[in-house]
């Protein structure tokens, strides 16, 4: 609901702030006083196009602001928070949610809109919760908060989507359950159809992909690579490329340790023999000197190590056989093969193996296309039957609800001084199934017998259309409400008992939602819980007119109703009639 509305320099209103309560609020005033500026201000807050001509003469810009109280589940909360708006938490009585002893409840949102004057430097700006937002976002937020029904603009239930949603909400739980089941079948059917189309449309491409994958995986499998094998092959290549130098080095070292071969002419002292000679010299020393004995033992250990190294060198040289050239060719060929695989699927051998693992599952999927096509075809046929049956059930339920809605709204129209009008909620089934069924829903008005039903807004005047929307909102109030309804001149062209019926129905609607009505009929104003009057003060010498908004109570309200009845507030009979209207409406 709207908690307050503040208007600054809009039209004839210089500066006015009004507090609004739940229930039925009426706005009255003399012609030209500026009653419509209240609706204009609300429309600006709902994202309507800004008119620089509406800025008060002499002002650089006009500003309107409203405080909204939102239920926690209202979609406007999410829209505002996504835009960065700050929303305060309040309980059901309007107290701050963090006040002592009070828990969080509803949310409070402040929305502002400013409009620059023609020729000025100020531009139209909008904010929600203290954060600047696009004007279009105000329209999205406002669509969940306020429904405006004016003489020239019936904002609510304008689109086919909104009309279908209203009918579905009116139909109740049975249709909601059927619609939820239908959507589950429809979503599954749509996904299965998309997958089947993808497979069949690209069948040749998928076959080529499978063939290429098969060759690649076979190539990797035949190569039988292991992680790090490329480094091992590089090391082997390096050794084989230097085989002669390695053999000479190992044999030379062996000769120094073990002595030259007897066939060799070179006289090379053997390290092993020298160490052994040194050990023997120590052992031949006189006495049992413990230090020399220890050194002799250490030389024995050195001799053992030298013997082991000598044997290893001999073995290393022996392994450098005469087949080194062929081994080098094989190693280089293996490295070339590994390098090619890494270039295609790498960059490392481990990556090649990971690629093979991940694409093996894709190959299994592609090779199973034939079976998957059969499976999906059967699934689509089964789901299509379920979707068509669900759509037919939705059509049946909507048609029944449409008949009930049509009867109730038509009855309301007859009581609202439209005795020849007939309301039609039309449901046309059998279309292409979609997320919401296969129905086209349209709300139509037949103004009088013999005329063809036409879409809302195309067969009625502004006042008649406002009454149609009032009748419709009264019927839908308990099932598909927005928090606040605004009616501008809903009573145009009626009077007498019809006006009383309009007031009664507005009061009935206000039992479910907040209702704000701009009216010139006292019969309607008498039913309001709160009465606002727009007053005009003209200063011919200063050359401007100023309007203000006042809250009327007690005798002030009686006086305003008397003015509306008789054209002047001082009439005694008019004042008596005004009191009678108030007593009757309260009763």
Q: With cut-offs at 50, 70 and 90, classify the pLDDT of residue 191.
A: very high
**pLDDT for residue 103 is more than 50:** no
Question: Of residues 278 and 35, which shows the higher confidence score?
Answer: 278
CB atoms closer than 10 angstroms to residue 191? 13
Report pLDDT for 263.
42
Helix/strand/coil percentages in the chain, nearest 5: 55, 20, 30
User: What range does the domain containing 353 cover?
Assistant: 174-396
Answer yes or no: is pLDDT of 275 > 70. yes
- If one compares 475 and 150, the residue with the highest pLDDT of the two is 475
Residue 75 included in any domain: no
Question: pLDDT tier at 245 (50, 70, 90 boundaries)?
Answer: confident
Let me know if residue 43 belongs to a domain: no
Question: What is the mean predicted confidence (pLDDT) over 415-423?
Answer: 86
CA 544 vs. chain centroid, Å, equals 49
Residues 357-369, mean pLDDT to the nearest whole number: 73
Q: Is residue 358 part of a domain?
A: yes
More confident residue, 585 or 366: 585
Measured distance between the N- and C-terminal CA atoms of the chain, rounded to whole angstroms: 26
How far is the C-alpha of 206 from the C-alpha of 225, rounded, in Å? 28
Question: Which H or E run contains 80?
Answer: helix 75-82
**pLDDT, average across residues 48-65:** 84
Average pLDDT over residues 82-91: 83
Q: Is residue 37 part of a domain?
A: no
Rounded mean pLDDT of 498-526? Answer: 88
Sorted by sequence, the CB contacts under 8 Å of residue 323 that are 6+ apart come out as none
Q: Is residue 206 part of a domain?
A: yes
CA pair distance 324, 328, nearest whole angstrom: 6
Q: Share the mean pLDDT of the chain.
A: 82
Q: Which two tokens stand for residue 512?
A: 């479910």
Q: Is the pLDDT higher at 323 or at 286?
A: 286
Number of domains in the chain: 1
Of 20, 152, 23, 4, the closest CA to residue 477 belongs to 23
Is the residue at 344 inside a domain?
yes
> Count of H helices and E strands in the chain?
18, 16
User: What pLDDT digit, counting tens, does each position of 441-498 carry?
Assistant: 999 988 888 888 888 767 666 667 777 888 888 888 777 668 898 888 777 667 777 7
**What letters, b where the CB count within 10 A reaches 16 and e where it falls short, cover 359-374?**
beeebeebeebeeeee
| Max CA pair span of the chain | 155
Of 37, 33, 151, the C-alpha closest to 491 is 151
Would residue 459 count as lying in a domain?
Answer: no
> What is d(CA 148, CA 482) in angstroms, rounded to the nearest whole number?
10
Q: For residue 355, is it within any domain?
A: yes
């Amino acid at each position: 609901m709207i908690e307050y509305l503040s208007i600054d320099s809009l039209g004839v209103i210089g500066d006015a702030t009004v507090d609004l309560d739940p229930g039925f609020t009426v706005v009255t005033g003399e012609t030209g006083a500026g009653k419509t500026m209240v609706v204009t201000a609300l429309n600006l807050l709902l994202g309507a196009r800004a008119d620089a001509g509406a800025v008060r003469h002499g002002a650089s810009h006009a500003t309107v602001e409203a405080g909204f109280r939102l239920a926690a589940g209202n979609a406007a909360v999410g829209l505002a928070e996504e835009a960065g708006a700050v929303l305060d938490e309040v309980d059901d009585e309007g107290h701050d949610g963090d006040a002592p002893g009070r828990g969080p409840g509803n949310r409070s949102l402040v929305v502002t809109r400013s409009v620059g004057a023609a020729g000025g430097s100020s531009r139209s700006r909008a904010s929600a919760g203290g954060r600047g937002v696009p004007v279009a976002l105000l329209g999205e937020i406002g669509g969940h908060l306020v429904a405006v029904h004016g003489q020239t603009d019936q904002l609510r239930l304008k689109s086919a989507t909104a009309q279908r949603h209203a009918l579905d909400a009116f139909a109740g739980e049975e249709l909601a359950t059927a619609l939820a089941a239908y959507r589950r079948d429809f979503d599954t059917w749509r996904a299965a159809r998309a997958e089947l189309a993808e497979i069949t449309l690209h069948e040749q491409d998928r076959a080529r992909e499978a063939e290429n994958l098969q060759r690649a995986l076979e190539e990797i499998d035949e190569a039988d690579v292991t992680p790090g094998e490329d480094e091992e092959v590089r090391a082997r290549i390096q050794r084989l490329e230097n085989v002669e130098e390695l053999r000479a080095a190992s044999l030379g070292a062996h000769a120094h340790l073990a002595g030259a071969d007897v066939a060799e002419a070179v006289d090379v002292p053997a390290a092993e023999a020298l160490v052994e000679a040194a050990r023997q010299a120590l052992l031949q020393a006189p006495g049992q000197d413990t230090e020399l004995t220890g050194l002799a033992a250490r030389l024995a250990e050195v001799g053992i190590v030298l013997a082991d190294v000598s044997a290893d060198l001999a073995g290393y040289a022996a392994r450098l056989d005469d087949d080194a050239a062929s081994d080098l060719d094989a190693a280089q060929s293996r490295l070339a093969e590994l390098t090619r695989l890494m270039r295609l699927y790498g960059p490392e051998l481990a990556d090649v193996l990971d690629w093979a693992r991940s694409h093996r599952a894709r190959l299994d999927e592609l090779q199973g296309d034939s079976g998957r096509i059969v499976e999906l075809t059967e699934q689509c046929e089964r789901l299509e039957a379920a979707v068509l049956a669900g759509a037919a059930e939705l059509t049946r339920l909507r048609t029944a609800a449409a008949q009930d809605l049509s009867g109730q709204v038509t009855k309301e129209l007859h009581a609202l001084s439209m005795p020849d009008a007939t309301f039609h909620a039309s449901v046309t089934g059998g279309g292409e199934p979609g997320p919401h069924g296969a129905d086209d829903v349209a709300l139509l008005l037949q103004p009088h017998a013999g005329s063809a039903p036409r879409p809302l807004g195309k067969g009625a005047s502004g006042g008649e259309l406002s009454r149609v929307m009032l009748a419709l909102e009264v019927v839908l109030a308990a099932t598909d409400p927005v928090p606040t309804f605004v009616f501008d001149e809903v009573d145009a062209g009626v009077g007498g008992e019809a006006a009383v019926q309009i007031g009664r129905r507005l009061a009935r609607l206000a039992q479910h939602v907040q209702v704000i009505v701009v009216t010139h009929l006292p019969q309607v104003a008498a039913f309001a819980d709160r009465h606002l009057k727009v007053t005009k003060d003209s200063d011919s010498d200063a050359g401007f007119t100023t309007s203000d908004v006042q809250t009327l109570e007690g005798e002030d309200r009686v006086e305003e109703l008397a003015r509306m009845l008789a054209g002047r507030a001082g009439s005694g009979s008019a004042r008596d009639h005004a009191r009678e209207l108030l007593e009757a409406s309260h009763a």
